[in-house]
Structure formats: C-alpha cells, structure tokens
Amino acid sequence: MANIPHIWTFTPVGGAVRVKINSGSDIAHLGELDRKMWTVLSCPAKNLEFDQKTLELIDADKDGSIRVDEVIATAQWLTGVLKDPDVLLERGTELPFSAFNEENPDGAKLLASAKQILRNLKLEKESIALEDTADNVKIFAETKLNGDGIITPATPDDEALAALITCITEVIGKATDRSGADGVTADHIEAFYTALADYAAWQDAGTKDVFPFADKTADALAAVNALKDKVADFFMRCKLIKFDADAAPAVGISVDKIGAIEGNLAEAAGICEEPLAKPAADGVLPLEAVNPAWKPAVEAMRALVLEEGKKTLTEAEWAEVVGKFAPYTAWMDAKKGAEVEGLGIDKVKEILKADQKEALLKLVEADKALEEEALSIEAVDKLLRLNHNFYDFLNNYVVFADFYDPERKAIFQAGRLYIDQRSTDLCIRVDGPSPEISGLSGMYILYCACKSEKLGKAMNIAAVLTDGDVDGLRPGKNAVFYDRDGNDWSATVTSIVENPISLREAFWAPYKKAARWISDKVNKAASDKAAKGEGTLSTITESATAKPADGVQTATKAAPFDVGKIAGITIAFAAVAGVFTAILAVLKSLTWWQWIVLIVGLMLVISLPSVFIAWRKLRKRDLGPVLNANGWAINAASLVSVKFGKGLTQLAKFPKLTAVDPAERRRVAWRRFWLCLLALLIAAFCFFFFTDRLAPYGLPFHKPQPVEEVIEEPAAEEPAATPEAVAEPVVEEAPAE
C-alpha cells in the first residue's frame, strides 16, 4: 500500500503563506515538508534569546549553525521516544513514566535511566522533571562509578589507593568527575607511572664520577657558569694585548668611563661592564685583584672549585675546571620524570615497589563499563529540555509565528532600546553593522554598540524603528538598552540605515530638508562673513602698523570703472524685477479659493513624490535582510506592515498639563497673544485683499457702491455752412528786407 502523504495546514503570516504546526504528527512528519516551504533554512546556534543548551543539542555537528536536517533529525528522535507526540505542544517541564515509548529501544533506555536518576536522588515518584536532571553533580554525588572514565579518591574502598589518586592529581593533573570531584583518567595514571620509572632510572645513572665535587657539584657549576662569560672576555683581552701592545688602552679598564659615573659607585651598573681584571700580555687572571663588582662571584667560585690558597688562574687551568663538569652536564641534560621530582627519590621508589598501577586501571575500566547508562541519563535531560523548548523553536524556525504574536517575542528579539522619547522591541544581536545588506529591508535601522559594566560584557545590536520621526537621531547619540533578563546596557549609535518610517514623516521630509539646507547656507554665509571681517581687520591693522621704506611713497590705485559689468547687472536686475512683477500681478488677480487651490497644489507637488516612495517602501518592509546579515538564512518574506510596526515601536504620550511656574504661565500667555495677533493680521489682510473680488458672490460684509443714473440729452444741431460763410484763407506776406 502506498504511503499516504501528510496533510498540512497553511496560514498567512507576515505577508507570506506558511505551514502551521498544529499537532505532534506535524512535528513527526517535518521531513516530508518541502524545504521551499520552510521559513528558515539556517539560524545561528548562539546570541539568541533561547535556552543555549537546547540549541547545542539541536546543533548536532557543533558548527554553530542549525540547519533543516538537524531540525528534522531532532524531531524524528523526539517523536520516536514519546508515546504521544502531542505532549510537545504543551511545553511541559515534567514527563510521567507513561509518556515514554517503551516499544522504541531508545525510549526504553530513557525510561530506565529516568528511574535510575530518581533512585540516585532518593526520590519516589512516577514522573521526572527538568529540575531533576539539570544538575549532574547532584545526580552522581552519591555514586562511586558513573561511567565517565574518571576515578576520584572516593571511588576505591582502599585508603592507600585513595591517597595515590590524590597524589596523581597533585603531580600530573586532574579531571572533573560527573560528581563534581577532582579525579584522574587512565592517561593520568599511565603518565604518572612512566614519570616514576624514568626518574628512578635517571637517578640510578648518577654515579660518583658524575659528581666531581660530590654533593656541592650543582652549586659549583652554578658558580662557574656565573663567571664563564666574564673570564672568557678577560683572556681574550689578554690575547689582544699580546698580539699588539698598542691595543692595551682600548681593551683595558676605561678610567674616563669610571670618572663619568655620577652618584654612588657601589650601586653603579657601569662598573660591572668593565673587565674582570686588568688584562696583561702574560694572560694570567689575578684572583685577588679583580673588578670589585665581581669580587663576590670570584670568591664563591674559588671556595667551591679551586685549591685553597690559589691566587692566579691561567686559561688552561680554567678550561680544566670547566671540563670537570662535562659528565654532570650530560647527566642533567638526560633528566626525565621531572614531574615527580618533588616527591623525592625515596617516595618514588616506594610507589614503584607497591605497584598499584593495575588496581587503578581496573577501577577506571569498571567506571567506563557504566558509560552507556550514564549517557542515557544525559539523554533524559535532553528529552526533557526538548519537550519543553522544541515547539517554541519550531514556531521561530518553520513558521515565524512568535514574531507576529503580540503576546510573545521571537527568539531573535534581544530586548528593548530606549532612545529619543520612544522604545523599540525589534532589537537583534549582530556581530557588527552591515548597512549594505540591511538596507535592502526598507527599514530605519540604528546600529548600536552596547556595554554593561555590571556584567562585564559588550555586544552590538540592530534596533529597528517603525514609528515616529528621525530629526534627533544621529551617530554618537547615547541610549539605554534592556535585555530580556532586565539588565541595562549603555548603548551608543554607531551607524544608521535610513529609510522611511511613516507617511507623515515622508510628507514633511522635503520641507525639513529645505529648512536644513537654508540653515546650513545661512550658517556658512555667516561664518564666511565673520572670517572675511577678521581677515580685513587683520589686514588693516597690519597696514596701519607697517612702516614704509625710506623715500618710498605708497599710493592706492582706484579700480577702473567697468561699464559692461554694471550694464549686465542692471539688465539682470530688470529682468528679475519684471518676472517678479508679473508673478505678483498674477497672484493679485487670484480669488480666495484659487489661493487655496494654489497652496494645496504646491504642497502636493512637493510632497507627493516623497510620500509615494515612502508608501512603496513601507509596503515592502522586510525583516529578512536584517536577519540575513546576522547569520540567518531566511527563506520567505517577513513583512512588517505600518500597523504591525506601530506595535513594535512605542512613542511617549504626555498628558496636557497646566504650567505651575508663574514665569512659564506668562510665557505661554504671551505666546498665545502673539499667535492671536498674527491670526488677526492675516484675517485683516485677507478681508481687504479679497473684498473687491467677493462682490460677485453677494457676501453680506461687502458694501456696494451707489450708482448715479446719467441721462444723456441729444446734442443741438448746428446750421449748415453757406458758401458765403466760408472764409478764404488769409496769406500774410513777409515784409521786404
């Protein structure tokens, strides 16, 4: 019969269709779910607000990243050892013995181990809780053998063996047993007995001919080594003088150097650098006339090495003295088993003679024989932890349901950041700023460096702002971050990824940018003016104080008058004035409603592009790129809508209060007075400006002007001109000269 495919339930979550985990059967069949339908393909195994030990249990290969295969393997093991996988949805911290699937070999072992744990704890009940398995030390405190291959002084019944185990921990090293006590492993025991044998053999090789000065050989060698380099230096100086007598001043004692030493000569380091004695061509070291700084070392060497009363030393004699130590030096170089040297040769031989090595190794083998049972005890802790936490993990891995649940928080939400009269709950631990990747999210992100003096730790977070304005935000601004445990951290903004936060903020953004641009220009112009004024003042001061050269007269040459430049400026000013006059004429001809339409139209033309861009980005705000920058592999859209974003970022809401300070009340009163006066002036301007234009609408405050009736009378007819009445033109002649 063909296998019937598992039927999944799907639900829309965060702008994407996702599978819903409704039952233990869904968890058992996770391996059948198409990987293209998983919300997450990989997530980090650290820096999450989740039980760290549970994450380590799921991360089977310990590579620091939890992948789909590891989640599926955990789900199959977990649903296999439980009789009813639906118990996982209850998130319980305790399991009754009846919940174990005894038909499954692993389930049967887990049940036996659970009962063993309760016996070790001396508890009588039919269920096991997470608190029962949380402390291995408590579980194994009363047991001598616990399967970890480590034996402690409490393991053997023989006191001699117990003392020997303590000796090994002090000499070779130690390991921590499951019971919490210090113990040793088979490797420690082998190393201990090897060191004992090597040290004893080395000591046996130290015959009398190895010690030329008996028990004082070590001290004698130390005394010779202290002078070895200085004596060799002396004999070389002597050889140089013998080679060339003129070299004596150069290789001898420098009187000038000694004279240049200041302070107490007994404490001067420079004297030690002078020769051991005054070199001479004969090459003989006078033992009673040596450098005072080396006198104690020479006397110690004479007492231990040379014959009593010997006053000089040649190079050949010195070589003979050094050669006596060759066997001793070779013996010391062959030294082995130094780890047990502190026990002394007598104790070493006593332990070797007792030969209890095999007894210790048998105890280790007996302990390791219980390894499988002990590991099963640890597996019980694994089962209880996964029973309590695995369903929550799936809701953050397969579905992403916890992020969109207002009653819960996702495992990547690290805490809450307070900054600029708001708080945001969408804070994610990151290794550092990743603006190139996070910028694709369409979100406004503050990267902050956080430090806790109380915890002695530091971390970086990416805080996403989804409401409010951004006027006061900038790199370097300080804030306070509270983690999920309530610990406070000092936070400093290190970088910002800028994106729209709201449509309201986008509408006013062009005007704020223009205001900032004007402010910057004004500030720059003022700074330039101030700098220019200071420069001019300095120039005038220098000119006034400067003295002209004798016989030289200074004259200021006036700049030539540039007619073309003045004409160009005049034409440009006339053109601007004409355009301005035309604009004023058009504006003056507008009616009141046309003014309103004009103002609204201008605002829409300026703000609509910004609002449209913000609307598109707000619709596509995706948390995925932010998580991808922190080591996640997000496989589906995780949109943050405007409505959902308002729940992630909370703004401060202050009640309206009446000022208590009399000075503040006066300031408020004056502010209201000036606002009312401004409103009256604007109203008066509008009234007088639009009065003539409101006449056609018959508004009541318009006073019509009286119209006088003009009656036109017909003009009187003039008589027609007669021929006689037409006068001839008179021509006056000019008088003769």
Q: What contacts 73, CB < 8 A, 6 or more positions away?
A: 60
Helix (H) or strand (E) segment spanning residue 472: none
> Average pLDDT in the 504-521 region?
69
Instruction: State the distance between the two ends of the chain, measured CA to CA, in whole angstroms.
Output: 151
Look up the pTM and report it: 0.60
CA 501, 507, 508, 513 torsion-angle sign:
positive
Per-residue pLDDT tens over the stretch 72-89: 999 999 999 999 999 999
- Structure confidence by residue, pLDDT tens digits, 292-349: 888 899 999 988 888 888 888 898 989 988 998 888 898 888 888 888 989 899 999 9
Q: What is the mean pLDDT of residues 491-497?
A: 93
Q: If DSSP codes are grouped into helix, strand and coil, which group holds residue 214?
A: helix
pLDDT band, residue 714 (cuts 50/70/90): low
The residues near 218 (Cβ < 8 Å, ≥ 6 apart) are: none
Average pLDDT over residues 263-290: 79
In Å, the largest CA–CA distance within the chain is: 183
Q: Which of 26-40, 59-73, 596-610 has the lowest mean pLDDT?
A: 596-610
Return d(Cα 114, Cα 121) in angstroms, integer.
11
Give the Cα separation of 509 and 607 in Å (integer): 8
pLDDT of residue 122: 85
What are the Cα distances from residue 97, in Å, to 80, 81, 94, 114, 380? 15, 12, 10, 8, 12
pLDDT at position 307: 86
What pLDDT sits at residue 531?
Answer: 76
The rounded mean pLDDT for the chain is: 81
**Distance in angstroms (rounded) separating the CA atoms of residues 456 and 451:** 8
3-state secondary structure 407-429: CCCCCCCCEEEECCCEEECCEEE
pLDDT at 736: 42
Nearest alpha-carbon partner for 127 in 108, 142, 111, 143: 111
pLDDT of amino acid 642: 81
pLDDT band at 702 (very low <50, low <70, confident <90, very high): very low
Give the three-state DSSP class for 96. strand
| Whether pLDDT at 535 is above 50 | yes
pLDDT surpassing 50 at residue 378: yes
pLDDT at 562: 56
Sorting pLDDT into bands at 50, 70 and 90, what band is 501?
Answer: confident
- The pLDDT-based confidence of 726 (bands split at 50, 70, 90) is very low
The pLDDT of residue 471 is 78
Which token pair is 216? Answer: 């004082």
pLDDT of residue 734: 42
Tell me the mean pLDDT in the region 108-134.
88
Between 132 and 654, where is the model more confident? 132
Report residue 491: phi and psi, to 5°: -120, 140
Q: How much of the chain exceeds pLDDT 90, in percent?
A: 32
Amino acid sitting at position 564:
G
pLDDT tens digits, residue range 106-115?
A: 999 899 889 8
